[in-house]
Structure 1
């Protein structure tokens, strides 16, 4: 999940010049924001700064500044899919949906400090 402010343009450039087909990447808009990160490549999970890029072809990409990890999204035109006769299955209901917006934790809890721990005598 990420949050961007469309009134806050990003000065960051997209980290890649071309896509996998070696076509140049055309950026339409770029917005500053932050995204929740967790997993490989992220040392501490939580909300990290990044930028949302809107490509000319409508694809969206959120890029985290520190790791340059890219999350790509593509918009679906539901009306167009329905006209073609394609069915889009509904998501199953969720009784308790919540999501983490920010996480604050002390990464040093659980580690004994060297001043309070003493070796046990044998």
Structure 2
């Protein structure tokens, strides 16, 4: 009976890994032929705060570069989800460059 339980668990685990692996397959490369336009709300917010997208990018880049604790948290979460930490970094950079600013919460 114990052998059957182990066999069943092994098959179930193999099936789960196969399904999870298949669900994460993404073809390489950019899906857009050209870079999409920046949304108007992002442009207006950036102008209203007297900054530029380049300045916001440099600010979030410096934050990631100088905050070892944040980088550790990113690595920990990436490991928990089995993804490359660069995917989280890309999302943070994109959001803080084109949407909220990395320091918006500090300014409120």
Normalising by structure 1, what TM-score? 0.22
More RCO (CA 8 Å, sep 6+) = 2
More helix by share: 2
